[in-house]
Amino acid sequence: MNTDLLVSNISKYITLEPQEQEYFVSLLQSKKIRKRGYLLQEGDICNTSTFVTKGCLRGFTVDTNGNEHILSFAPEGWWIADMYSYITQQPGTQIIEAIENTEVLQLSKTHQEILFQKVPKFERFFRILVEKSLVSHQQRLIETMSMSAEERYATFQKRYPLLEERLPQKHIAAYIGVTPEFFSKMRTNVLRKK
Partner DNA sequence: CGCGACGTTGATTTGCCTCAACGATTGTGG
Partner DNA sequence: CCACAATCGTTGAGGCAAATCAACGTCGCG
User: In the complex, which residues of this chain contact DNA (CB under 7 A)?
Assistant: 65, 67, 148-150, 168-170, 177-188
Select from its own copies, DNA, none the partner in contact with residue 19, using the beta carbon and a kind-dependent cut-off of 5 to 8 Å. Answer: none
Report whether 39 contacts 84 (CB < 8 A): no
The residues, any chain, with a CB within 8 Å of residue 176's CB and separated by 6 or more, are 149, 152, 153, 156, 183
Count of CB atoms situated within 10 Å of the CB of 136: 12
Instruction: Report which residue type is found at 188.
Output: T
Where does this chain touch its own copies (CB under 8 A) — which range of 16-24, 104-112, 134-142, 182-190? 134-142
Strands 29-33 and 102-108 come out as antiparallel
CA–CA dist 110, 116 (Å, integer): 10
- Restricting to residues 34-63, name those near its own copies by CB under 8 A: 61, 63
Task: Please identify which residue in 1, 7, 25, 142 interacts with its own copies, judged by CB under 8 A.
Answer: 142
CB of 193 to DNA, least distance (A): 14
CB of 54 to its own copies, least distance (A): 25
Q: Which residue from 83, 188, 190, 60 is spatially nearest to 130, judged by alpha carbons?
A: 83
CA–CA dist 171, 177 (Å, integer): 10
Select from DNA, its own copies, none the partner in contact with residue 185, using the beta carbon and a kind-dependent cut-off of 5 to 8 Å. Answer: DNA
**Shorter beta-carbon distance to its own copies: residue 53 or 61:** 61
CA–CA dist 119, 46 (Å, integer): 23
Give the CA diameter of the chain.
Answer: 58
- Restricting to residues 74-113, name those near its own copies by CB under 8 A: 83-84, 87, 93
**Shorter beta-carbon distance to DNA: residue 89 or 189:** 189
CB of 60 to DNA, least distance (A): 13
Binding stretches for its own copies (CB under 8 A): 61, 63-64, 67, 69, 71, 83-84, 87, 93, 116, 120, 123-124, 126-127, 130-135, 137-142, 144-147, 177
